[in-house]
Amino acid sequence: MHIGVFSLFSQNMNFIDTHTHIYDAAFDQDRDSVIAACKQAGVNTLLLPNINWDSIPAMLQLCSTYPGMCHPMLGLHPCDVKSDYKEVLQRMFALFGKHPFIAIGEIGIDLYWDTSMLAEQKEAFAMQVDFAVRHQLPLVIHKRQSYYEVIDVLEQFKGQKLRGIFHCWSGSIDHALAVISMGFYLGIGGTVTYKSSHLDELLPHIDLQNIVLETDSPYLSPHPYRGQRNQSSYIPVIAKKIAEIKHTDIPTVADITTKNAKQLFKI
């Protein structure tokens, strides 16, 4: 189904994209029209995970331009953890209280591209989890080929009411149930439309109460837009696929996942 058709019936639905980098330079030429397309598709709330120190100004400017629709997070992406990560994190933490950050993210461990910074990634991750716990903020976690390393860090905070999202979920049913039991939602995005993701085998075992929707735009576009720039107006495409897998309808997916996100982020 084409997104234009979606817009005809999604106007009365309320979706939340819990993970979009719409402040990225990939949207510099048409960001306003992309946001207009979001509204037409019923995607009325965009949650913006941060990447590094340099991405903060553009993210905050966008949230200032679209107050109430765009909400910023504070975090250092694992792939951006360098030798100066402690200094960068201290500068980031100093911003807290000056802007309405709703979560600590995008944080975690990524061992796909490089394993040489594992110790630093774990330390940076732990520092940010600690900050989130102390300020009672949810976490938005990036894990790539690092499930056990991420869990090892989170175990250090056992009993401290962790909550958040495992972004771009991929993994076994056992791992999914384990992170849900720790207080986390599974972030489901465009990969649910890929046959190689095996999410069609996982999601029948996962209640919608444990799922939130995301795009990770401009990355990971759903089929049939794979290979093109992703955008938040494709959230109904993701919802449609989840509805098919769960043998329910799109309004039900929209309603439950939106309530999940609102409860988690208190928006």
The whole-angstrom separation of Cα 45 and Cα 126 is 29
Question: Average of pLDDT values for 239-247?
Answer: 97
pLDDT for res 7: 52
Question: Average of pLDDT values for 83-112?
Answer: 97
Sorted by sequence, the CB contacts under 8 Å of residue 65 that are 6+ apart come out as: none
Exposure on the CB side of residue 56, measured as CA atoms within 13 A? 21
The answer on pLDDT for 4 being more than 70 is no
Domain count for the chain, please give it. Answer: 1
Nearest to 214 by CA among 18, 47, 51: 18
The answer on pLDDT for 2 being more than 60 is no
User: pLDDT class for 12, splitting at 50, 70, 90?
Assistant: confident
Q: Buried b / exposed e across 93-112, counting CB within 10 Å, b at 16+?
A: eeeeeeeebbbbbbbbbbbe
pLDDT tens readout for residues 158-201: 999 999 999 999 999 999 999 999 999 999 999 999 999 999 99
**What does pLDDT average to over the chain?**
95
Burial label, 53 (beta-carbon count in 10 A; 0-12, 13-18, 19+): middle
DSSP SS3 for 219: coil
The answer on pLDDT for 11 being more than 90 is no
pLDDT tens readout for residues 66-95: 999 999 999 999 999 999 999 999 999 999
| CATH assignment at residue 234 | 3.20.20.140
The boundaries of the domain holding residue 235 are: 3-265
Q: Residue count of the chain, please give it.
A: 267
